[in-house]
Structure 1
């Protein structure tokens, strides 16, 4: 999967993403489980993308490190951190193969980034690596698309956008794996120099698993599950929940 050109469109396309809700969710969850925050708590933001959440957590007083697989995403994140006056070390790594990053109090895999791992082995490896990177009693947060969302709200659907300077057509099809989806996106972006539109094509694959599977892999990786909820609400997942949140502590 390549983000080379997509990286520079990402923030414009994600303007309405509820980033503040992710930050609030983490802060409230830590408070609810009586996990005391101190200034400078270390937080590893896996699949940090363009750094929107990394910057927000840094502004909340966390000592943030970001990891992403895309050089271009990291370039955008680096510029963003500089513009906001926060120091965020950034590393280009696969979250299933982390190494040499040190240890952290909290690890987050936000914005359904875990769904880009298409095999059970990759998900388990990510949990194992996260456990190795966490301090004793460290906390792992992640959220994933539900099976309902993949099957009922993505597959065989078409999404479109037509703004002043950018438009896209986004088609979603069944993936080759169970509970997976393939996204084919065509963007049309206006060049400010000459007013012409350039076409950029992207292909993305996502896969999700059942709550029971994620729970089993967490336990296998040495985690105690503290909370499973849905859709930014502190409620148990329902059959039509769209986003599932996990909070787990390293044993």
Structure 2
């Protein structure tokens, strides 16, 4: 998967995403489970939209992302908004920052981009190593329902003056996986022409029970599982599953 060119139109496409909902989730869980510190590691931070909100709420934010281009944009935003972000380019399944945090997050279904079971388990293990004893690990994933009933074999389109796209979803090779074939047409104001950008994104999800078993094996206690920013227990039609975990 490559975000090299996609990074520069990412924010335009994500402008309606519920970043404030993730911030509220972090603050609610932190208060509920009495996390004392505000040192937070935002894994798969992308262009920094959530990281900057966390910084604005008083957190000391370290961001990690696989894409250098995403991190360049995040750093520029931090400078523009007079915020401090500490940023590293790393693979979450090989995380190595040599320190611990009060809170660690992996949001916006970023964990679903790990295509192998081993990579998910390795990520949980590295997160455990980087989390303080009384800290929280917070993440979300696509539900099985969303992969199989909302994405699978569907086509989504957008027509806009600045960016248009065709988004086709196909079954992936692994169980409960989907491949997103995206074709963007991005307007260049200098030439008044549209540039075609093509991307292939692969996502895979797992049953809640399987994730819970891997978390247990990594040394975590799952404190809460909820759905869709609501705080309610997931049901058969839930689309985004949230996990709140701590070290045993």
- TM tier, shorter chain? over 0.9
1:9-28 to structure 2, matched below 5 A, reads 9-28=9-28
State how far apart, in whole Å, the 2-side matches of 1:127 and 1:32 are: 22
State how far apart, in whole Å, the 1-side matches of 2:237 and 2:169 are: 19
* Structure 2 residue 105 is matched with structure 1 residue 108: yes
State how far apart, in whole Å, the 2-side matches of 1:98 and 1:47 are: 11
1:192-207 to structure 2, matched below 5 A, reads 192-207=189-204
Aligned to 1:174: 171
TM-score by structure 2 length? 0.98
State how far apart, in whole Å, the 2-side matches of 1:77 and 1:234 are: 29
TM-score by structure 1 length? 0.97
State how far apart, in whole Å, the 2-side matches of 1:71 and 1:10 are: 14
State how far apart, in whole Å, the 1-side matches of 2:188 and 2:227 are: 40
* Structure 2 residue 55 is matched with structure 1 residue 58: yes
State how far apart, in whole Å, the 2-side matches of 1:178 and 1:108 are: 25
**CA RMSD, Structure 1 to Structure 2 (Å):** 0.9
* Structure 2 residue 32 is matched with structure 1 residue 44: no
- Tell me the SS of whatever aligns to 1:142: strand
* Structure 2 residue 3 is matched with structure 1 residue 6: no
1:133-152 to structure 2, matched below 5 A, reads 133-152=130-149
Q: How far did residue 137 of structure 1 move?
A: 1.8
Is contact 2:142–2:239 with CA below 8 Å preserved after alignment?
Answer: yes
Q: For 1:129-184, what per-residue CA distance to the aligned partner results, in whole angstroms no more than 9, with x for missing partners? A: 00000111211000000000000000100000011111000000000000000000
Q: For 1:48-90, what per-residue CA distance to the aligned partner results, in whole angstroms no more than 9, with x for missing partners? A: 0000000000111010000000010111111011111111111
Q: How far did residue 36 of structure 1 move?
A: 4.1
Q: For 1:19-40, what per-residue CA distance to the aligned partner results, in whole angstroms no more than 9, with x for missing partners? A: 000001111122223x1445xx
State how far apart, in whole Å, the 2-side matches of 1:124 and 1:203 are: 24
Is contact 2:35–2:102 with CA below 8 Å preserved after alignment?
Answer: no
State how far apart, in whole Å, the 2-side matches of 1:86 and 1:30 are: 22
Aligned to 1:212: 209
State how far apart, in whole Å, the 1-side matches of 2:18 and 2:242 are: 14
State how far apart, in whole Å, the 1-side matches of 2:83 and 2:36 are: 19
Q: How far did residue 100 of structure 1 move?
A: 2.8
Aligned to 1:30: 30
Q: How far did residue 101 of structure 1 move?
A: 4.1
Aligned to 2:229: 232
